[in-house]
């Protein structure tokens, strides 16, 4: 049935193209004879000239028909005729007319063919083939609609804004009517795009919304910086009108901008960062056609890594996770989007050493991304044993399996909380970094660590927490008015992870440049405003104090770590102190024994041996063995 449908669509397109060719072919003799009529002052054409003109019509038609086919003018859709189509028509008519003149010169030596006829013929033919197309589009773009149009104010009189207005004009039925532009470029003031005038800058939004009875504001500035977006959103909020935004340039091609791409302004737009230029050809070359394993593949970072990897056409993608639901969710999503991709879901806990080794042996991955980790700082302060088992011993299990079975790359996903840690979560991730670095010196596997800060919207992070609190009417709970955190989107973090993986030789700690840290209180206020409410009036912000293990400000590298440039934007290399693998292995063995007998104090003592900078200024004092066993 699908085959018959495709055949029907092909035949339909073929019939439409032949209609266009027949129309254009009919215009050729009209233009040719019309040129003679104009040449003789719109009077009777002398018979000797008319007879010659009629005799030459087959030759003229054959040449022009050939140039129409060569330049593909029949492939353009009249409904959406553009400058590109007009240029193709001009080329075909100019070339065709020149060939007609040359051919007639060789055939008749231009006997009874006035030279001016060629110029007049070309001009007439151009008018006859373009005018119907333009009229057809004009009629379609200005059709009469019975639907109620909503008045739209467009922010941004650039390429994106112009394409958006064009799309709104030709929509059927026309639901939105663009009535004005605003743009912060003073040189555009008073100019028109697609018949719509630029009437002010962003500060004019409230005034124009009131004066013009605007129903919707659309932000069409896909290249806007975070500061520019904050400025625009501020005035949109002041106007009281609903507002929507077009996606960023990296999310969509500018020539495909459409009203169907509109979405609400999100916190990522206000905290936006300059889009990173990645070496996608190098990334694809490194990962395409390879067997790849992602641990914690159902989590926030792991699932996005799986999505990014799936786009690169790996030979096989093994997704390992201890959560049945998370594993099912990401596997179902990727199976639907990439039906040709070989997906292998593995319900495995990284703490189960035997299961990890069996999985790696059976699937023989060439690249392992280790994203499985416990990460909720305050909760993990009272879950020391499980934190160590998962983040330290689980990492050792996966790294050892990669080493044992000669995996090409092993990439550990780490965190800024591993730098000068004040929490067990951060200290455990620092131990994981140390183990992978130490093992790398004795392994053919390239063991690489990638360290970065908070990911916007990840499970359990501050953004979804604030969203939930706003939905419930508040208050929003912030630990401290001065607390700051580094943020980046999950998409950007995972793309940088892939880039770092392709450039690492083994043993490195790559630090992602997170930009400037964001004040959490400021973030809370922005999210309240995005919800259409007023901070401290509709939604209260409550400061609850720093919790156990939390810092006022996070750090991306230790004072003793030397940062060097990698040649890639936003990826730095941190050179850390080295510890012999035997010493680290013995400590991990001791950790495993302490975990087996639930010796929390012993675990904390061993962690501090490897991470002497581990401090707990906001947490309880270190527990004794008796307190732990009790």
pLDDT at 232: 86
- Count Cβ atoms within 10 A of the Cβ of residue 499 and give its class: 0-12 exposed, 13-18 middle, 19 or more buried: buried
Residue 30: the pLDDT is 92
pLDDT of residue 452: 78
Q: Can you give the CATH number for the domain in which 505 is found? A: 3.40.50.720
Buried b (16+ CB within 10 A) or exposed e, 339-349: eebebbbbebb
Tokens at 174, concatenated:
């026309």
Q: Which residues of the chain have pLDDT under 50?
A: 1-12, 14, 144-148, 249-257, 259-260, 617-630
Looking at the structure, tell me whether residues 203 and 58 fall in a common domain: no
Residue 77 within any structural domain of the chain: yes
Beta carbons of 385 and 368 less than 8 angstroms apart: no
**Residues β-bridged to residue 447:** 410
295-321 pLDDT per residue, tens:
999 988 899 999 999 998 899 999 999
Indicate the length of the chain as a whole number: 630
Domain final position from 124, 141, 158 = 141
> Coil, strand, or helix at residue 477?
strand
- Cα 318 from Cα 365, distance rounded (Å): 8
CB of 312 within 8 A of CB of 282? Answer: no
Domain count, the chain: 3
> What was the pLDDT predicted at 396?
96
277-286 burial: b if 16+ Cβ within 10 Å, else e: ebeeeebeeb
Whether 621 maps to a domain, the answer reads no
Shared domain check, 495 and 383: yes
Of the residues 265, 300, 333, which one is the last residue of a structural domain?
265
Cα 155–Cα 184–Cα 535 angle in degrees, nearest 5: 65
Question: Could you tell me the residue range of the domain that residue 382 belongs to?
Answer: 280-461+482-517+546-610
The pLDDT value recorded for residue 418 is 84
DSSP-assigned letter for residue 389: I
In a domain, 531, yes or no: no
The candidate with the shortest Cα–Cα distance to 178, out of 162, 159, 160, is 162
| 243 shares its domain with 194 | yes
Flag whether 477 is in a domain.
no
- Report pLDDT for 629: 32
Q: 258, exposed or middle or buried, with CB in 10 Å at 0-12, 13-18, 19+?
A: middle
List beta partners, residue 440.
Answer: none
323 and 456 inside one domain: yes
Is the domain of 417 the same as that of 486? yes
Task: Name every residue whose Cβ is closer than 8 Å to that of residue 441 and which is 6 or more positions away in sequence.
Answer: 507, 578, 581
Asked if 421 and 391 touch (Cβ cutoff 8 Å), the reply is no
pLDDT digits (tens, 9 = 90+) for 452-497: 777 665 655 677 777 788 878 878 888 778 777 766 777 777 887 8
CA 185 to centroid of chain Cα atoms: 27
Sign of the CA dihedral running 468, 473, 479, 484: positive
Q: Are residues 313 and 413 in the same domain?
A: yes
3-class secondary-structure state, position 177: strand
* 117 assigned to some structural domain: yes
Question: What is the Cα–Cα distance from 483 to 581, expressed in whole angstroms?
Answer: 37
Q: Which residues contact 237 (CB under 8 A, 6 or more apart)?
A: 529, 532
Domain assignment present for residue 90? The answer is: yes
And the tokens for 225?
Answer: 């910086």
Instruction: Identify the pLDDT of residue 303.
Output: 92
And the tokens for 617?
A: 């200024």
Establish whether the linkage from the previous residue to 262 is cis, with ω within 30° of 0. Answer: no
Q: Are strands 571-575 and 562-565 parallel, antiparallel or unpaired?
A: antiparallel
Q: Are 231 and 183 contacting, i.e. CB atoms less than 8 angstroms apart? A: no
Tell me, yes or no, whether 284 and 398 share the same domain: yes
67 and 36 belong to one structural domain: yes
pTM above 0.85, yes or no: no
- Same domain? 176 vs 253: yes
Q: Are strands 518-519 and 484-485 parallel, antiparallel or unpaired?
A: antiparallel
- What is the Cα–Cα distance from 425 to 194, expressed in whole angstroms? 56
- End residue of a domain, out of 80, 113, 141: 141
169 and 108 share a domain? no
Angle between helix 300-310 and 324-337 (nearest 10): 20
Distance CA(267)–CA(530), nearest Å, equals 8
Tell whether 222 is covered by a domain. Answer: yes
Give the pLDDT of residue 175. 75
Q: Quick check: is 527 in a domain?
A: no
CB count in 10 Å sphere of residue 157: 26
Question: Residues 318, 385: one domain?
Answer: yes
Residues 234 and 335 in one domain: no
Check if the beta carbon of residue 320 is closer than 8 Å to that of residue 297.
yes
């Amino acid at each position: 049935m699908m085959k018959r449908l495709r055949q029907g669509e092909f035949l339909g397109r073929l019939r439409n193209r032949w209609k266009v060719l027949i129309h254009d072919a009919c215009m050729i003799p009209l233009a040719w004879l019309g040129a003679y009529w104009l040449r003789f002052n719109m009077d009777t054409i002398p018979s000797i000239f008319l007879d010659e003109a009629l005799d030459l019509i087959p030759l003229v038609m054959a040449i022009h028909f050939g140039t129409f086919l060569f330049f593909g003018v029949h492939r353009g859709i009249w409904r959406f005729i553009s400058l590109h189509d007009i240029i193709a028509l001009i080329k075909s008519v100019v070339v065709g007319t020149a060939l007609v003149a040359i051919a007639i010169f060789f055939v008749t030596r231009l006997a009874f063919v006035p030279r001016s006829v060629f110029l007049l013929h070309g001009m007439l033919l151009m008018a006859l083939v373009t005018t119907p197309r333009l009229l057809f589009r004009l009629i379609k773009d200005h059709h009469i609609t019975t639907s109620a149009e909503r008045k739209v104010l467009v922010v941004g009189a650039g390429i994106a804004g112009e394409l958006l207005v064009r799309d709104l004009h030709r929509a059927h039925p026309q639901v939105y009517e663009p009535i004005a532009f605003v743009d912060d470029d003073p040189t555009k003031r008073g100019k028109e795009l697609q018949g719509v005038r630029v009437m002010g800058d962003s500060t004019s939004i409230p005034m124009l919304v009131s004066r013009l009875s605007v129903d919707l504001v659309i932000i069409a500035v896909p290249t806007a910086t975070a500061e520019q977006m904050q400025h625009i959103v501020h005035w949109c909020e002041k106007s009281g009108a609903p507002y929507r935004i077009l996606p960023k340039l990296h999310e969509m091609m500018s020539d495909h901008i459409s009203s169907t791409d509109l979405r609400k302004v999100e916190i990522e737009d206000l905290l936006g960062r300059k889009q990173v230029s990645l070496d996608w050809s190098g990334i694809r070359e490194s990962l395409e056609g390879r067997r790849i394993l992602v641990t914690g593949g159902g989590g926030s970072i792991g699932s996005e890594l799986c999505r990014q990897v799936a786009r690169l056409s790996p030979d096989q993608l093994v997704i390992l996770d201890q959560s049945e639901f998370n594993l099912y969710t990401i596997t179902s999503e990727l199976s639907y989007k990439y039906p040709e991709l070989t997906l292998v879901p593995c319900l495995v806990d990284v703490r189960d050493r035997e299961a990890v080794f069996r999985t790696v042996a059976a699937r023989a991955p060439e690249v392992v991304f280790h994203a499985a980790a416990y990460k909720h700082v305050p909760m993990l302060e009272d879950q020391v044993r499980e934190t160590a088992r998962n983040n330290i011993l689980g990492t050792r299990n996966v790294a050892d399996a990669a080493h044992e079975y000669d995996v090409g790359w092993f990439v550990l996903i780490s965190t800024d909380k591993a730098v000068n840690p004040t929490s067990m979560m951060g200290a455990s991730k620092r131990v994981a970094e140390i183990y992978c670095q130490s093992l790398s010196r004795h392994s053919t596997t390239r063991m690489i660590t990638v360290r970065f800060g908070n990911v916007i919207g990840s499970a359990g992070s501050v953004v979804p927490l604030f969203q939930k609190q706003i939905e419930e009417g508040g208050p929003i709970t912030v630990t401290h008015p001065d607390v700051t955190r580094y943020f980046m989107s999950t998409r950007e973090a995972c793309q940088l992870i892939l880039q770092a993986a392709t450039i690492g030789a083994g043993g490195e700690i790559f630090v992602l440049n997170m930009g400037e840290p964001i004040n959490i209180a400021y973030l809370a206020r922005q999210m309240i405003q995005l919800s259409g409410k007023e901070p401290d009036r509709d939604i209260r912000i409550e400061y609850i104090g720093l919790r156990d293990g939390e810092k006022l400000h996070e750090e991306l590298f230790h004072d003793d770590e030397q940062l060097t440039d990698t040649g890639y934007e936003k990826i730095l290399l941190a050179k850390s102190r080295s510890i012999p693998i035997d010493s680290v292995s013995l400590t991990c063995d001791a950790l495993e024994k302490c975990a087996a007998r639930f010796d929390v104090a012993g675990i904390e003592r061993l962690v501090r041996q490897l991470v002497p900078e581990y401090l707990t200024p906001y947490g309880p004092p270190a527990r004794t063995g008796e307190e732990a066993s009790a």
